[in-house]
């Protein structure tokens, strides 16, 4: 219930080959404080699409390709209270949200069984495997025991707002921003001080990860998108966008699902022999 309360009070906004670190030179544009991402730089980034009231597919959230037939995303992107699981499709290999580009059909939506208690993570199984290419690749999942230390610089990508309630402008280009990891204890103190009525509550749970700084953050619409860190010349997905207060807040970083906490659950569906 705490998780549902927080999602209401706060703004809501993975055998895998080792993926080499791409060139990080970029031109300034605008996620919050971010840049336009060059084509093929983050080839595991996918967009999730849902039907609107007229039945037309519209972009909804982000996700990451962790297997040729599996996508990792946030559970709140694909499950809503009282309405159950959403119809969803996936677009791969694009840096701009173009409706005419092919959408992959989803065979199964698998939210974590404890989502209602806070496990904001889900798997999507595609009807058919995607074909890998220079612009469509798999991100590497971390080992369950990986520790990401405060101050580590990582990158988050997505098509969400470039500021609070300011959508990414046409042509809806994928954004990227480098952000520092914030330790859980520090992050928890910050949120408790900002919400004094919750002083007896542990807001930042062990399966969460905080990252961001003033003017550099993920935002609404980035939910489910990956947070990746470079480790031994490989990009590891250590988090996925989950929730936060405002965007680019000077004191409150964004909160991510800590992927390391869920690697074993992911392997229940994607055998380790495919990823290790």
Task: Please identify every residue annotated as catalytic.
Answer: 76, 120, 223
Listed in sequence order, the residues at least 6 apart from 186 whose beta carbon sits closer than 8 Å to its beta carbon are: 150, 210
Provide the token pair at 65. 């390709």
**Is-contact 228 155, C-beta < 8 A?**
yes
The three-state secondary structure class of 246 is coil
Degrees, nearest 5: CA angle 89-92-94: 120
Collapsing DSSP to helix, strand or coil, 13 comes out as coil
| Other Cβ atoms closer than 10 A to 43 | 22
Give the position of tokens 């080839």: 43
Round to whole Å and give the CA distance between 172 and 22.
22
């Amino acid at each position: 219930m705490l998780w549902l309360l927080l999602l209401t009070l706060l703004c809501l906004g993975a055998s895998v080959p080792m993926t080499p670190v791409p060139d990080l030179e970029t031109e300034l544009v605008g996620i919050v404080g971010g840049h336009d991402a060059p084509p093929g730089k983050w080839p595991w980034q996918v967009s999730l699409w849902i039907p609107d009231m007229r039945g037309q597919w519209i972009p909804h959230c982000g996700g990451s390709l962790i297997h040729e037939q599996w996508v990792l995303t946030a559970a709140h992107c694909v499950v809503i209270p009282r309405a159950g699981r959403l119809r969803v499709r996936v677009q791969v290999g694009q840096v701009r949200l173009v409706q005419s580009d092919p959408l992959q059909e989803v065979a199964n939506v698998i939210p974590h069984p404890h989502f209602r208690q806070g496990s904001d993570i889900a798997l999507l199984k595609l009807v058919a495997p995607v074909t890998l290419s220079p612009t469509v690749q798999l991100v590497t999942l971390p080992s369950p025991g990986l520790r990401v230390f405060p101050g580590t610089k990582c990158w988050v990508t997505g098509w969400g707002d470039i500021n609070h309630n300011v959508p990414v402008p046409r042509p809806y280009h994928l954004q990227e921003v480098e952000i520092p990891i914030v330790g859980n204890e520090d992050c928890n103190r910050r949120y408790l001080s900002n919400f004094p009525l919750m002083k007896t509550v542990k807001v930042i749970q062990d399966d969460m990860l905080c990252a961001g700084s003033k003017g550099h953050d993920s935002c609404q619409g980035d939910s489910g998108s990956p947070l990746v860190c470079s480790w031994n010349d490989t990009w590891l997905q250590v988090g996925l966008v989950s929730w936060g207060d405002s965007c680019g807040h000077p004191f409150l970083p964004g909160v991510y699902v800590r992927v390391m906490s869920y690697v074993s659950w992911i392997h229940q569906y994607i055998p380790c022999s495919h990823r290790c």
